[in-house]
């Protein structure tokens, strides 16, 4: 969810300010911090538009009343990220200057940094020399699978920062080639664990009590191991509830800070190449990585992420989010409700449990799209090990350390991109890439337009039955290498999320059509969402080259009805614990009252829309009564005519006011 800035259009990741569960103190402190950052962002954005150069850093330095140029550059770098994402981060865990101060705080720390640098240079240098040798003898392509495996093992050997970097690179086609990406994907599921006793000592330190005082039993083996921590199953002594305990790797923070400093130092030498190939500084990529990595390192932030997901899905009976035991959790230990489901890594067990696979996948796709387009807060690492199928058909998520936030502006641009794709407006699609940060501001998009058109027409032309994101992404990866395109970190997570969940769908049900669920969901949002911005997108969809698209309107209604029917009849809603609230929580009809009311208002107030609709009704010198009848037949079982009429009548004073304002503006403009 998002907290709107008080003085800018960006948003703060976290709990909505309108949420009754949000603590007053957090709301006030977030707003105060946001106002401060918003004012600074406003000053800098005027000077830079999007790109912050050395002059901007100099201005930031003068504003601060002095200090080092390095501090100003660090501040400018992070503010650049905020401007691009449209998101204020009031309590930042990362900044280049903070990393620098931590690794250079003492002679011992400096010596440790030097030794770590020597280790990294030696191991990576040796690996690089093998790649150069392969090129020299002409066998670089034949030996790629072996070298990719070597790289994965090398990253594991270099520690958690490099494992995490490998996981990030596995989703960055703008940086690394596809065969290496496929090998690095293994790092998302297969990471060595650390000794149990070390983990148990960390848990006791965080709890301040012996394990036996809190847990009646704890698993002797790790349930899962990741780059930053590992998970155990335990039983609470007081209540007998089963819980999952996530424990951070020992002494990981100093290693992370050292590695981030070295990454950024190396990146400073690669800025020229990065600007040429990606259209941005290499340091910016490191800053994105470092910010996300340090957020994952603090388990108190992950606890807050879980609370936000619980708030978002509190009225959705098809999604299960584990609750957090905050009194037992800290910055290095997180205790959560145990999810008694079947991991998506075991498709056979899901089918053997009698779970309706199609119903489960429909729930999963809808939940993913809600995160992306409705909440703007989505799970950034939904690999099969982090998604469970509950035995009643619900979907459950775990591991919320890696989540991403999309601002309201970013969500609207994504909807714009969908609309432009539907309308085959490829020039605007290319401009959407610039607005989303894939292309640097001022980049000439004209060479990219034909490539986008070829990719989309080749993929969409196959129809829903053969369309899949992986084939589109593969073609897009080739485009990335041909043009100066950078994939922003948040959108690399979006791409990974969609690809991973599509892969789960195909594993569980090879004939599952991802877009046959996604399209109806988007159609339902366009027709029924209360957000006025989405209504504007609906108008753009319904008009092409000034001509009203009757068939497109009919298709949208059919798809939206299909989405409602699928969700209301889903097996996940048959459980005893959700049946009582089914009518309240899941719509069984399209709620078109607001859409019809807005349409009536636009027809009366907006002269341009009124003219276009009248032309649509009289196009080709004939009245299109049959089209109106067809549309009415599609929605007659979905709407209550007296209720809609009453809503329109209630809105008449507002319509009259808008009409008078529109008339007065036109009169004044004529004078």
- Kind of pairing between the strands at 229-236 and 215-218: antiparallel
Q: What is the rounded CA–CA span in Å between residue 605 and residue 608?
A: 9
- Kind of pairing between the strands at 333-337 and 242-248: antiparallel
611 in Cβ contact with 534 (< 8 Å): no
349 in Cβ contact with 342 (< 8 Å): yes
Identified catalytic residue from 259, 381, 399, 425? 381
Q: Give kind and range of the element (H or E) at residue 218.
A: strand 215-218
Q: What is the rounded CA–CA span in Å between residue 545 and residue 452?
A: 20
Q: What is the rounded CA–CA span in Å between residue 99 and residue 264?
A: 10
Structure letter (DSSP) for residue 249:
P
11 in Cβ contact with 4 (< 8 Å): yes
Identify whether 381 is a catalytic site residue. Answer: yes
What would the DSSP string read from start to end of 456-485?
Answer: HHHHHTT-TTT--HHHHHHHHHHHHHHTT-
Q: What is the rounded CA–CA span in Å between residue 540 and residue 42?
A: 31
> What backbone torsions phi and psi does residue 322 show, to the nearest 5 degrees?
-70, 145
Q: What is the rounded CA–CA span in Å between residue 248 and residue 256?
A: 13
In 3D space, the residue among 16, 524, 4, 87 whose CA is nearest the CA of residue 310 turns out to be 16
Alpha helix (H) ranges present in 342-403?
A: 347-352, 357-369
- 382-370-184 Cα angle (round to 5): 20
- 260-282-380 Cα angle (round to 5): 65
Place of tokens 């050997």: 157
5 in Cβ contact with 36 (< 8 Å): no
Q: What is the rounded CA–CA span in Å between residue 389 and residue 594?
A: 35
Q: What is the rounded CA–CA span in Å between residue 355 and residue 509?
A: 12
Place of tokens 């403009």: 669
Half-sphere exposure of residue 224: CA atoms within 13 angstroms, side-chain side: 18
Strand partners, 380: none
The residues that are catalytic are 381
């Amino acid at each position: 969810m998002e907290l709107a800035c008080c003085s800018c259009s960006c948003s703060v990741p976290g709990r909505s300010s309108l949420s009754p569960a949000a603590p007053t103190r957090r709301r006030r402190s977030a707003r105060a911090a946001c106002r401060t950052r918003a004012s600074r962002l406003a000053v800098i954005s005027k000077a830079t538009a999007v790109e912050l150069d050395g002059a901007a850093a100099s201005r930031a330095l003068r504003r601060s009343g002095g200090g080092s140029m390095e501090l100003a550059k660090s501040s400018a770098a992070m503010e650049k990220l905020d401007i691009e994402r449209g998101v204020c981060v009031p309590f930042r865990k990362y900044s280049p200057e903070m990393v620098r101060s931590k690794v250079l705080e003492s002679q011992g720390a400096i010596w440790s940094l030097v030794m770590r640098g020597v280790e990294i240079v030696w191991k990576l240098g040796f690996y690089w020399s093998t790649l150069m040798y392969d090129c020299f003898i002409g066998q670089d392509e034949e030996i790629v699978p072996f070298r990719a495996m070597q790289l994965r093992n090398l990253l594991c050997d270099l520690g958690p920062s490099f494992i995490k970097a490998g996981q990030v690179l596995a989703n960055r086609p703008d940086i690394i080639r596809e065969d290496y990406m496929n090998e690095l994907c293994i790092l998302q599921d297969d990471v060595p664990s650390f000794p149990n006793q070390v983990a148990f000592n960390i848990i006791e330190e965080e709890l301040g009590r012996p394990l036996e005082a809190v847990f009646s039993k704890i698993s002797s083996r790790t349930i899962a191991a990741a780059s930053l921590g590992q998970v155990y199953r335990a039983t609470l002594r007081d209540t007998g509830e089963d819980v999952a305990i996530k424990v951070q790797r020992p002494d990981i923070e100093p290693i992370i800070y050292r590695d981030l400093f070295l990454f950024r130092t190396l990146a400073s030498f690669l800025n020229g190449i990065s600007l040429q190939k990606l259209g941005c500084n290499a340091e910016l990529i490191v800053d994105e990585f470092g910010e996300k990595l340090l957020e994952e390192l603090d388990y108190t932030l992950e606890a807050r992420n879980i609370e936000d997901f619980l708030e978002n899905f509190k009225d959705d009976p098809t999604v299960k989010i584990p609750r957090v035991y905050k009194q037992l959790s800290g910055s290095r230990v997180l205790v959560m409700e145990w999810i008694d489901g079947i991991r998506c890594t075991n498709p056979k067990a899901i089918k053997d449990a009698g779970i309706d696979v199609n119903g489960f996948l429909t729930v999963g796709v809808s939940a993913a799209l809600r995160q992306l387009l409705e909440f703007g807060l989505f799970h950034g690492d939904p690999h099969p090990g982090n998604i469970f199928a509950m035995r009643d058909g619900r979907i459950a998520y775990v591991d919320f350390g890696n989540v991403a936030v999309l601002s309201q502006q970013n969500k609207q641009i994504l909807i714009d991109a969908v609309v432009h794709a539907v309308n085959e407006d490829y020039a605007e699609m290319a401009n959407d890439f610039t607005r989303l940060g894939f292309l640097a501001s001022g980049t000439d998009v004209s060479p990219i337009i034909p490539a986008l058109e070829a990719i989309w027409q080749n993929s969409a032309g196959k129809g829903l039955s053969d369309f899949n994101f992986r084939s589109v992404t593969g073609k897009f990866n080739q485009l990335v290498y041909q043009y100066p395109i950078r994939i922003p970190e948040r959108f690399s997570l979006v791409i990974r999320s969609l690809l991973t969940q599509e892969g789960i769908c195909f594993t569980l049900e090879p004939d599952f059509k991802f877009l046959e669920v996604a399209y109806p969901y988007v159609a339902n949002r366009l027709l029924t969402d209360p957000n006025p911005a989405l209504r504007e997108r609906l108008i753009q969809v319904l008009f092409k080259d000034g001509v009203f698209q009757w068939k497109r309107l009919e298709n949208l209604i059919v798809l939206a009805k299909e989405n409602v029917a699928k969700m209301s009849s889903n097996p996940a809603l048959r459980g005893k614990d959700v049946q009582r609230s089914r009518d309240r929580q899941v719509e069984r009809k399209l709620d078109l009252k607001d859409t019809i009311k807005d349409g009536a208002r636009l027809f009366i107030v907006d002269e341009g829309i009124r003219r276009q609709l009248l032309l649509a009704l009289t196009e080709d010198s004939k009245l299109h009564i049959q089209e109106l009848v067809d549309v009415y037949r599609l929605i007659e079982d979905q709407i209550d005519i007296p209720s809609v009429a009453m809503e329109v009548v209630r809105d008449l004073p507002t319509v009259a006011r808008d009409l008078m304002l529109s008339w007065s503006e036109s009169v004044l403009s004529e004078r």
